[in-house]
Amino acid sequence: MTTDAYAISALMDITPRPPAVFVKGEGSWLWDHEGKRYLDFVQGWAVNCLGHAPRVVADALAEQSRRLITPSPAFYNEVSLRLAGRLTRLSGLDQVFFTNSGAEANEGAIKLARKYGARRGAHKIITFEGAFHGRTLATMSASGKKAFEPLFEPKVPGFAKAALNDLASVERLITPDTVAVMLEPIQGEAGVLPATDQFLRDLRSLTEQAGLLLIFDEIQTGIGRTGKLLHYQHVGITPDILTLGKGLGGGVPLAALIASDRASCFEHGDQGGTFNGNPLMCAAGLAVIEQVSRPEFLAAVAANGGYLADRLASLSRQHGLGPVRGRGLLLAMSLPREIAPDIVAAAFAGGLLLNAPRPDTLRFMPSLTVTPAEIDEMTALLDKALRACLGKG
């Protein structure tokens, strides 16, 4: 395979990439510049909740692009108001600030919490070891990813790291300076490590008793990924601040910071951004929400997630691998050794896109519209890649 026809060196080399240039996508499938077809179980890192190039999103974008692309966030626009109304009703929260990326939504959540705490001189936010909240300086500082530790020093101060599923470790970090606790209900980048439902309930009680805000980063777990529209709907609690991204735009850059009336304290001049609430992106968001919020759609995600988990568990038993974890269509499989990058490369060569958040873990995040037949096809391709890497084939 050659990519000589493309100016590959014109892009900043920020990550290792395989030698393929993608030119087309449809549903669970991608095609590269040589016409090779791939089954995609990464989907833009859990972004394409309706698969590649979904008709409803393409139509919404085409129609909106002929009506109004952007009037500036200094004016109301109809589409962002409709989407904000849908999101507040569905989330049980009250006010939305749209952003262009998940990191920007989390940066906004951090600013909102600091603004809220400033009334009593509190600014510290408790986050978690292993957490990933984005790549702006503040969200990298909030993250608990080991690889971030030496980077871009000095970090933004004001984040203390607790251990996931260990309430006492949170309690120990609370001081008069603390304003909020922020977490992903399932740590995706750390290898799909779920907070237990009980831990999330206990955290809700603790933050209420201590007068702290609870911030849920549902950028990866939201928009139906775990079989409910929002992960906290499994648990029966509501956070004070919620961030959404990835699936929200169905592939288009759209994210949101959503807050309860109590927490929503920005005043004029505190927050903004040129493209925020852009009608074009919000039209995509509305099209996505129409599909994903339907109970039948969410039931199918839960059912297909269960089927994928079963298929992975039987593959794992067959090859003597580790446990399968996660919820809905955000799953991971542990490997006995650090061979995940080799398996990802072998799968890629065989026409399957997989992701390895850690060297000993494979992550599965297909389109929410994935079919049982595609899950079977993925299982067969993965089986082949495992045989090649484990030396059995």
First to last CA, the chain: 24
> How far apart, in whole angstroms, are the C-alpha atoms of residue 5 and residue 88?
47
Task: Look at the alpha carbons of 297, 84, 230, 26 in this order and tell me if their dihedral is positive or negative.
Answer: positive
Cβ closest to ligand PLP, residue 40 vs residue 184: 184
Q: Report helix, strand or coil for 39.
A: strand
Cβ closest to ligand PLP, residue 44 vs residue 92: 44
Distance in Å, CB of 213 to ligand PLP, minimum: 17
Distance in Å, CB of 221 to ligand PLP, minimum: 7
Residues facing residue 333 across a β-bridge: 324, 362
Distance in Å, CB of 393 to ligand PLP, minimum: 33
Cβ closest to ligand PLP, residue 91 vs residue 316: 91
- The residue sitting closest to ligand PLP, measured at its beta carbon, is 102
Distance in Å, CB of 378 to ligand PLP, minimum: 21
Cβ closest to ligand PLP, residue 47 vs residue 212: 47
The contact set with ligand PLP (CB under 6 A) reads 45, 101-103, 106, 132-134, 184, 188-189, 217, 219-220, 245, 255
Residue with tokens 């794992």: 316
Question: Which residue, 193, 225, 172, is CA-closest to 323?
Answer: 193
Distance in Å, CB of 45 to ligand PLP, minimum: 6
Cβ closest to ligand PLP, residue 289 vs residue 339: 289
Task: Look at the alpha carbons of 58, 64, 67, 68 in this order and tell me if their dihedral is positive or negative.
Answer: negative
Could you give the C-alpha distances from 262 to 96, 108, 240, 269, in angstroms and in order?
13, 16, 8, 19
Distance in Å, CB of 194 to ligand PLP, minimum: 13
Q: Which two tokens stand for residue 34?
A: 């040589």
Cβ closest to ligand PLP, residue 355 vs residue 379: 355
Q: Which two tokens stand for residue 133?
A: 């909240």
> How far apart, in whole angstroms, are the C-alpha atoms of residue 233 and residue 229?
7
